[in-house]
Structure formats: C-alpha cells, structure tokens
Amino acid sequence: MESTSPAGFQFQSNELHSMKVINFRSSYIFDDRRSAVFEMCNTKVNAAVYGSREICTLFSSKQGSRHRTNQFGGLTLKAMPEQKDITVTNRSRDNRTPHVLTMAGSDSGAGAGIQADLKTCAACGVYCSTVITAVTAQNTHGVQDVSILSAESVAAQLKSILSDMHVDVVKTGMLPSPVMVKILHDNLKQFPVQALVVDPVMVSTSGHVLAGPSILDTFKQDLLPMADIVTPNIKEASVLLDGLQLQTLDDMRLAAKSLHDMGPRNVLVKGGDLPSSDAVDIFFNGKDFYELRSSRIQSRNTHGTGCTMASCIAAELAKGSSMLSAVKVAKRYVETALKYSKDINIGNGPQGPFDHTLKLLRKTSSRLQPFDPSDLFLYAVTDSGMNKKWGHSITDAVKAAIEGGATIVQLREKDAETGEFLEAAKACLEICRSHNIPLLINDRVDIAMACDADGVHVGQSDMPVNKVRALLGPEKIIGVSCKTPEHALKAWADGADYIGSGGVFPTNTKANNRTIGLDGLKAVCVASKLPVVAIGGINLSNARSVMELGVENLKGVAVVSALFDRDCVESETRKLHALLTETVTYNR
Ligand SMILES: Nc1ncnc2c1ncn2[C@@H]1O[C@H](COP(=O)(O)OP(=O)(O)OP(=O)(O)O)[C@@H](O)[C@H]1O
Ligand SMILES: Cc1ncc(CO)c(N)n1
Ligand SMILES: [Mg+2]
C-alpha cells in the first residue's frame, strides 16, 4: 500500500513499525532530490530524510547540524494509515510557531514587497523573518529608485536566520541579480525547509523593471526547478515562456503546463491583469488544472496583490496546509482584503495599497491548523434526539466519539434552543480543541461565529456558500451537502472546502431525504474538485462497500445513528474506525 502525505511525498514498503513519526514535512533539497524532515517522538531527535521519491535515507539532526546516522541508513518508509505506529502527519508541531522567511525587496510605500509579506504573515498568524535583496523608493505613482544590496549582505542575512531559527517555508519575491538565486540554493542545501514559494517578480504594476533580463536564465534554469510553487502573473508567465501571449484562460492553462515542465512542482498563473469581469487564476499541480475564480473588486488599491498572494500561500503551508488548500485560502484572503479596503485613500497616484491586516480587526481563530481533507475520514454528526434517548449529554457524546477515533465533529442540533445550543457548542469546542479535532456547526452560521467554531456545514436550501464565506472569512471550513455532480461543481465555484454526499443508504435521521445510492455517490465524487465525505445510513455493515468505491476524492464517511444511537458511543466509534482503516487505500 502506498500513501501520499499532505505535501505529496510518497513512501513505500513497511519496514518501520516501532518508530512513531510525527510532523511530516517535505522540503526540496539539492541534486534533484527531495527530502523530508521528521520528528521522532520516541528518539526525540529531528531527522531528515534525503532521497528520491521512493527510497529515503534518514539523517538525524542535533541542534541544526545534520549528520548521517547508520541506524536509519537506507531505510525505506511506509506511511501505513492502518497501523497507528507510524502516523505521517503534519499536525503536531510541538507548539512551535509557524515561520515564513521572505527574501524580497523593500517597498517604501509598504503595499508590496517585504512590507506586504510581513503584514500578510502577521494577519495569517505566522511569524515572518526577512532577507532584504533591494531597497526601492516606491509610492502610489510608481518606482523612483532601486538600490540592490550586495551579495555578501544577502548571504549574511539568509545565513543569520537559517542557522538560528526554524524556518518552515521560504518565499521569494524580488531577486534582482542571479547571484542571489545561487545564494538561496546554497543556503537551502545546508538548511532545508518544508517548501519554497517563488513569486517571479520582474516588473512592477507601474511598469518599472525590478529584475532585468539578466535574471531570466537563472530563473528558468535554477530557481523554478527548486520551487514547490511558482506564482507568475500574466506578464511574468509570458516573459518566462519567451513571449508567449496570454489572453484567455486556455492560454493560461497552456502556460501553466509549460512552466510546470520547467521544474516547479506546482504553478499558479495569476489572472489579476486579465481584462475579465472575474479575477481568475489557474492552478496546475502537474496532473489537474483548477480554475480559481473570485469577483473582480473595482478599486485602485490593488498594488501588491501578487506579493500578498505568495506570502499567504507560504503562511498557510507553514501552518501545515496542503498546496491546493493554501492557494485557495490565499485567493480568498486577497479578495477579502481588496473588498475590505476598496475605498481607502492612501497617496495621490493611480495605484494604491490595500489593508492587509483586516483580519486583526476580527478575533483570530484559536485553532491554528488549516483544514486537511483527511479530517473527513470518520466524521461524527451529533443528534440531540439520540443523545436524549440514551441519556448522554452532548459533551459526553462528542468526547466519546473523539476518543473512539472520530476525526471531525459536526453539531447538528435541529431543535435546540439558541442559547442552549451556543453553550453546548462552546463546551464541545473546548473538547475538540484539546484533541485538535475540527468542530463544525450544522446550518447555524450565527452559532459558529459566536463560539468561533472551525466552520459550518450547510445544505442546498440553507444560506448560500458564498454568503457563509463572506461572514466567516477566508480560513474557516465550509462544507455543503450535494446530491449531484452539478451541486458539486457549484460548491467548488462558491468556495466550499468539502462536500457531503448522500443519502448513500436509506436513513431515518433525515425525513424526505432522497437516497442517491453508491452509484450516485460515485458520480458526485468523480465530478467533484473538492474532497467528499459520504453520508446517509452508513454503519458497520455497509461502510466497507462505501470505502471500496475507491474513488480518489472520497475521504471518509459521516455517521449519525451508527455512533450516537448507541449506548456506548466510544466503542461503536472505535469499531467503525477500525473497519474504515482496514478498507481500501486512502490518502492521508
Ligand atoms: N481587482 C481584483 N479583484 C479581485 N482579485 C484580484 C484583483 N486584482 C488581482 N486580483 C487577484 O490577486 C492575486 C494577484 O494577482 P495579480 O495578477 O494582480 O498579481 P501581480 O500582478 O503579481 O500583483 P502585483 O504586481 O500588484 O503585486 C490573484 O489571485 C488575482 O486574481
Ligand atoms: C519591492 C517590490 N517587490 C515586488 C513588487 C511587485 O508588486 C513591487 N512592486 N515591489
Ligand atoms: Mg497585478
């Protein structure tokens, strides 16, 4: 069996049973090789894995100085979800602060460059250190001066940070001379990080050249192959592709593919400068294309959107997000920030900055972890009637489900009185947070906001997903019930994070609910660009048939009665968890 980590790194074979690996983190290294950094809770050392995609060699690391250890030499790893002794996951971080290092130019007007990166990371709750490559004199009229820093200064800044601090993700912006790419390469070889986000900044929006033609070959030959994602705008994509003209979404897809062939693992071609009514970006991961669409905000305050987008992607990756989730959150973040600051008035020129820190105005969420599709594996949905029947309090029921192995919880209290529901939600949230399990609220956006739950699940006739998103902000989890491929595609376009599809089997929990069967579920999964959780009448006797559909997007099952219409919720959950774990390969 083979498992793909959230960061897309693959392992095979099964020789590692006694070692518990927590905190998987992929990073690129050198000599065309990828590495992964592990922390072993039993050995209490950091270990890095250097190697090709299949065979990995473990290195241990003490206080930053990495040396090879024979104990792990040549070891082949298997991430085996069904065996709890190896958990390849990116969620446990020992309370370490997620950290992005930005290597970019200073923008005196503070809308783009280093200043945008610092503000974006702050708004995302991520620490940001800085390596300044150039100092620009820039305002809302344009760029008046550029002073490039010496190679020695840039090298010293990078080393200073990387030799001391634990950096999760490096993000690059303005790299005005080829030697800076080499310095970056050499430093990352010595101090590997989880991911490299490359914003191939070349020209400012006002038309000023920020990195001249001399950089082009280095970008193509050295920088792009190192990148986990590269984020060109239309003009930069064109320059990188020898003047290819980009006018349509199909052109952008073609460009994304050609850029991917140059070595980066993911490509985002940004369409901010395309004259269309929506702002559409194309994301390509080497396999699938995703069209990321948001409304175009009519505003002069769009200077620095590109830097902001790349920093937000880096910040989300540093928090442990998968690449696609990071890009989606970043897209929403830019849209929300532009909307929020569309009328602010800074400077007299044609290109104003926007306010990155909008989120500081909101209470920041106390849950740092982003949504991970594997959270949908065993999705527990509560039911007040069932709890009453068995004499369980809602908190006891939630606790028991989590202890039995539930990976996400939804409170579905159809007939609860609002004040009571809120108190119950707050208590459940405390339990979920202590286990690092996301808590969603069915339908009631107001309750979710009042208790700062991790998200909301809505049905087709509840509040529309785009309205829920506007209320909850870019980071919260939104799920939506879908019965058809059309519903699924709309859910993606509206900005949901996952879909629940069913009823797969007949159920008493929901009156007048049409059953779509396994075939209906499969059709939705195949069409969906979002992860899917199956729901409706799923229990110990039929869960296997659901998981064995073997469709990639199907990440788990959502269950009400089979967990909560029982005397012992914990043991029922445990049984279902064990059964699910036994079934087909799934991605964790
Ligand atoms: N007016 C707008 N409304 C909504 N989204 C926008 C708008 N302008 C740009 N975007 C989005 O912002 C992100 C950055 O894209 P853009 O093409 O502007 O990058 P860029 O040209 O590198 O930015 P800059 O050079 O100003 O830093 C993309 O997701 C894009 O779709
Ligand atoms: C310093 C700097 N970096 C990047 C950009 C691109 O927006 C800019 N205008 N200035
Ligand atoms: Mg732009």
Q: How do residues 370-422 score in pLDDT, each as one tens digit? A: 789 999 999 999 998 898 889 999 999 999 999 999 999 999 988 889 999 99
pLDDT band of residue 361 (cuts 50, 70, 90) is low
CA distance 113 to 306: 9
Asked if the model's pLDDT at residue 179 lies above 60, the reply is yes
- Helix axes 178-190 and 151-162, enclosed angle (nearest 10): 20
Rg, the chain, Cα only: 24
> Looking at per-residue confidence, does 505 or 68 come out higher?
505
> Looking at per-residue confidence, does 87 or 239 come out higher?
239
Q: Is 311 in the pocket of ligand 2 (CB under 6 A)?
A: no
Mean per-residue pLDDT, 44-49: 33
State which of 58-62, 89-93, 373-377 shows the largest mean pLDDT: 373-377
Give the model's pLDDT for residue 96.
78
Give the model's pLDDT for residue 36.
39
* Longest CA span, the chain: 73
Give the model's pLDDT for residue 475.
85
Give the model's pLDDT for residue 560.
95
Give the model's pLDDT for residue 236.
94
**Candidate from 90-99, 265-274, 379-388 with smallest mean pLDDT:** 90-99
Any bridge partners for residue 169, and if so which? Answer: 100, 195
- What number of residues does the chain have? 588
> In this predicted model, what pLDDT tens digit does every residue of 503-531 receive, in sequence order?
999 987 766 788 999 999 999 999 999 99
Q: Is 468 in the pocket of ligand 1 (CB under 6 A)?
A: no
> Looking at per-residue confidence, does 435 or 257 come out higher?
257
Q: Is 111 in the pocket of ligand 2 (CB under 6 A)?
A: no
pLDDT band of residue 27 (cuts 50, 70, 90) is very low
Inter-residue contact 176 to 133 (CB < 8 Å): yes
- What is the H or E stretch that residue 115 is in? helix 113-124
pTM over 0.80: no
Residue nearest ligand 2's atom 6 by CA: 204
Inter-residue contact 495 to 332 (CB < 8 Å): yes
Asked if the model's pLDDT at residue 309 lies above 50, the reply is yes
Strand duo 455-458 + 477-482: pairing:
parallel
Asked if the model's pLDDT at residue 83 lies above 50, the reply is no
Asked if the model's pLDDT at residue 21 lies above 90, the reply is no
* Strands of 189-339, DSSP E: 195-198, 229-230, 267-269, 278-284, 289-295
Tell me the two tokens of residue 75: 């070891």
Mean per-residue pLDDT, 43-71: 31
Q: Is 232 in the pocket of ligand 2 (CB under 6 A)?
A: no
Q: Is 469 in the pocket of ligand 1 (CB under 6 A)?
A: no
Question: What ranges do the domains of the chain cover?
Answer: 2-94, 96-343, 373-587
Any bridge partners for residue 499, and if so which? Answer: 480, 532
Distance of CA 59 from the midpoint of ligand 3 (Å): 43
Residue nearest ligand 2's atom 9 by CA: 204
Give the up-direction half-sphere exposure of residue 107: CA atoms within 13 A in the CB hemisphere.
31
Pocket probe for ligand 2: among 106, 107, 206, the residue whose CB has the most ligand atoms within 8 Å is: 107
Inter-residue contact 357 to 122 (CB < 8 Å): yes
Sheet holding 56-62, edge to edge: 21-28, 34-40, 45-51, 56-62, 65-68
Give the model's pLDDT for residue 376.
96
CA distance 422 to 444: 10
> In this predicted model, what pLDDT tens digit does every residue of 537-584 receive, in sequence order?
999 999 999 999 989 999 999 999 999 999 899 999 999 999 999 885
Give the model's pLDDT for residue 58.
37
Tell me the two tokens of residue 314: 């880096």
CA distance 367 to 451: 12
Inter-residue contact 399 to 431 (CB < 8 Å): yes
CA distance 317 to 315: 5
> Looking at per-residue confidence, does 33 or 419 come out higher?
419
Strand duo 169-172 + 195-198: pairing:
parallel
- Helix axes 465-472 and 485-494, enclosed angle (nearest 10): 30
Inter-residue contact 440 to 456 (CB < 8 Å): yes
Provide the mean pLDDT of the chain.
Answer: 83
pLDDT band of residue 127 (cuts 50, 70, 90) is very high
Give the model's pLDDT for residue 95.
65
Distance of CA 354 from the midpoint of ligand 1 (Å): 12
Give the model's pLDDT for residue 60.
33
Residues with CB under 5 A from ligand 3 (ion): 272-273
Residue nearest ligand 1's atom 10 by CA: 272
Is the CA virtual torsion 357, 362, 368, 374 positive or negative?
Answer: negative
pLDDT over 70 for what percent of the chain?
81
Give the model's pLDDT for residue 586.
42
Show Cβ contacts of residue 448 under 8 Å, excluding neighbours closer than 6 positions: 425, 440, 441, 455, 456, 472, 476
Give the model's pLDDT for residue 385.
87
Give the model's pLDDT for residue 367.
63
Domain 96-343, classified CATH 3.30.530.20, yes or no? no
Give the model's pLDDT for residue 210.
85
Distance of CA 118 from the midpoint of ligand 2 (Å): 13
Q: Is 112 in the pocket of ligand 1 (CB under 6 A)?
A: yes
Distance of CA 306 from the midpoint of ligand 3 (Å): 6
Q: Is 174 in the pocket of ligand 2 (CB under 6 A)?
A: yes
Give the model's pLDDT for residue 587.
37
Residue nearest ligand 1's atom 9 by CA: 272
Give the model's pLDDT for residue 433.
92
Ligand 1 atom with least separation from CA of 235: 21
Give the model's pLDDT for residue 42.
31
For domain 373-587, which architecture applies?
Answer: Alpha-Beta Barrel (3.20)
Show Cβ contacts of residue 388 under 8 Å, excluding neighbours closer than 6 positions: none
Any bridge partners for residue 134, and if so which? Answer: 105, 148
Torsion angle, alpha carbons of 367, 323, 487, 464, to 10: 40
Give the up-direction half-sphere exposure of residue 334: CA atoms within 13 A in the CB hemisphere.
35
> Looking at per-residue confidence, does 52 or 358 come out higher?
358
DSSP state of 72: G
Pocket probe for ligand 2: among 204, 301, 311, the residue whose CB has the most ligand atoms within 8 Å is: 204
pLDDT band of residue 211 (cuts 50, 70, 90) is confident
CA distance 5 to 140: 43
- What is the H or E stretch that residue 581 is in? helix 569-582
- Could you list the active site residues? 270, 302, 304-307
Distance of CA 369 from the midpoint of ligand 3 (Å): 30
Inter-residue contact 111 to 303 (CB < 8 Å): yes
The long-range contacts involving 57-64, CB below 8 angstroms and separated by at least 24 positions, are: 64/163, 64/191
Give the model's pLDDT for residue 253.
98
Closest CA to 472 of 329, 576, 311, 315: 329
Distance of CA 429 from the midpoint of ligand 1 (Å): 36
CA distance 281 to 283: 7
Q: Is 170 in the pocket of ligand 2 (CB under 6 A)?
A: no
CA distance 117 to 171: 9
